[in-house]
């Protein structure tokens, strides 16, 4: 498992959520880069931007990197955004989505 085991923003563990349908983190973006897969060393690795549904933090994640002497894959590359004040579990990460939701609510109100 190369996905993070805890949030880099709020520190909440993700391991206790194994098997849940609504996993508390999601991949917002991905690009080539970082450490190559041990199974495909000639191909580029994968850098993910991961959002924490629990606090709204977004952090960059090197999917195939080995962190320190840990043999597990996956290494945090730093926070892109810290925990969001007033964030509620399940809030949307997509500004556009929030914008359009607001726009349609305004149309209904007028
Ligand atoms: Zn978090």
pLDDT for position 18: 58
Is 61 within 8 Å of 48 (Cβ atoms)? yes
CA distance 95 to 5: 26
pLDDT for position 14: 85
What ranges do the domains of the chain cover? 15-109
pLDDT for position 98: 47
Report the share of the chain in percent with pLDDT over 90. 48
pLDDT for position 90: 72
How far does the centroid of ligand 1 lie from the alpha carbon of residue 91, in Å? 12
Neighbours of ion ligand 1 (CB under 5 A): 7, 9-10, 52, 54-55, 57
The SS3 assignment for 29 reads strand
How far does the centroid of ligand 1 lie from the alpha carbon of residue 59, in Å? 9
pLDDT for position 21: 56
Assign residue 61 a region: left if phi > 0, alpha if psi is -120 to 50, beta otherwise?
beta
Q: Is the pLDDT of residue 96 over 60?
A: no
Mean pLDDT of 86-103: 65
């Amino acid at each position: 498992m190369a996905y993070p085991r805890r949030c880099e923003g709020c520190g909440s563990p993700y391991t206790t959520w194994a098997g849940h349908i609504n996993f508390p983190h999601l991949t917002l973006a991905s690009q080539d880069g970082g450490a190559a897969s041990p199974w495909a060393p000639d191909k580029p690795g994968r850098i993910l931007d991961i959002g924490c549904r629990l606090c709204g933090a977004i952090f960059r994640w090197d999917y195939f990197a080995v962190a320190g002497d840990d043999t597990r894959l996956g290494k945090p590359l730093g926070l892109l955004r810290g925990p969001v004040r007033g964030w509620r579990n399940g809030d949307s990460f997509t500004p556009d989505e929030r914008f359009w939701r607001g726009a349609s609510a305004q149309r209904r109100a007028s």
